[in-house]
Chain A
């Protein structure tokens, strides 16, 4: 599997097929038994997580993984934890507020008081704070209303246009393929189908793979 610079790649698959595991391995939360993960021509599979973040590869978790007892600004400041100077922190805060004006309106509120969509924005914003080269989004559409999903995906598109590489893990196949240039469909931990997202969208086997290939026994 490969993610080109400044492209958007979608990683698709049903529940429990190993999508999130790939992300966890890439961000160093779990060790891989075999195989390698390369980022910018450097093997990163044995680095501790904070080193991987420092190299510019950031995982954005689902919206529930914020620090609820901290304010929005504090959550974002944590996202920029590896930044050296306060000036960088300020610039990046402005950048994130520019992407998500809603967060600016709520910057002094506790993260626990945000809505689901705002939490997802906060997570993406937190990921952007550290000046990453590539972000990996873990189901940005999970448990959100369609209108908000659309809004979030528009923002991801903007982020990508500003030069970031994006890997998006999704269950919402249609949305993800609309956004992505290239797609991988994963089934039982191995890549089943891959191809340009425009092709994948009409591929019958994608549908089957996504549904887990199970047929109802009626």
Chain B
């Protein structure tokens, strides 16, 4: 085990880790805000990747952008794709929450006791979204040939620059969310709604609106994650499922419902997974995330940063 190979493992581990972290962030955000685990979150990730790819295919044929910015052409298009994924998934998330989840919560129990209905709805939604994506984009894996520059040499191996790009953008998004939640009025309201809907009602927060916003932000972040992964791997209809499971492991490792914990958990799972498949065996890559999750649950059931699990009334 040389230091050089360790650098490679670390880069890849951090880059996949931040993706797990971003999806886990959304899962944790929805869990604190709506008191349910959103099992369709992987699909927002997948559709986000397709949204980014669609934008990429539209802009890729536009010569005038190339003529305008010959040097930074690939970057500009890619940033627009990320932005498209963010905005479209945010709106799509709000739409899904309003149309599919709101009627369930209105029927009774709010977002707490009736949560079981929403959890099952999440599974169903996942199947529906996969099949809709299947109809629109067909099941063939698609390349996302973003031109982001030459590969970089890290630890003696040439890695696509997208690995580093994933880490930077991912941390930027996570940091942005932190600033948004802690420094803005809307963020203050979101934290209040996440803690107690009754008290938030009493101080005059429009709680249903804020629940939609929470869902939308979580989905928007997942969408960015999908577009970030696109150029490094491929965009395929079935990419959401395994990401959801890994992100779930990341959220549990970091402490369920804890937002910084989601990112740290994502990094931990990513590095552990990459290191294990590099040094032990790559043929069971998907096993390691859950192995780590089980180990963490045995030693510290609340995860790294988890505090007392929120009581459900």
Contacts and interface: CB of A to CB of B under 8 A. Distances in A.
Interface string B192-230: 100110111111111110000000000000000000000
A130 B202 contact: no
B284 interface: no
Chain A interface size band reads 20 to 34
B98 interface: no
Contacts, number: 63
A53 B198 contact: no
A53 B196 contact: no
Nearest to B191: A70
Given A48-B206, A50-B206, A50-B207, A78 B201 contact: no
Given A29-B202, A49-B202, A53-B204, A69 B189 contact: no
Interface of B: prevailing SS: helix
Interface string A37-68: 00000000000111001100011010001110
A82 interface: yes
Contact of B203 (A29, A48, A69, A130): A130
B185 interface: yes
Contacts of A126: 203
B204 A28 contact: no
Contact of B202 (A27, A54, A69, A74): A27
Given A70-B191, A74-B188, A65 B206 contact: no
B199 A50 contact: no
Chain B interface size band reads 10 to 19
A81 B201 contact: no
Contacts of B199: 61, 65-67
Interface of B: 185, 188-189, 191-192, 195-196, 198-208
Name the 8 nearest CB pairs between A and B, nearest first: A53-B204, A49-B201, A82-B204, A50-B206, A50-B204, A65-B199, A78-B203, A59-B202
30 contacts: A27-B202, A28-B201, A29-B198, A29-B202, A48-B206, A49-B201, A49-B204, A50-B201, A50-B204, A50-B205, A50-B206, A53-B203, A53-B204, A58-B202, A58-B204, A59-B202, A61-B199, A67-B196, A67-B199, A69-B191, A69-B195, A78-B188, A78-B189, A78-B192, A79-B203, A81-B185, A81-B188, A81-B192, A81-B203, A130-B203
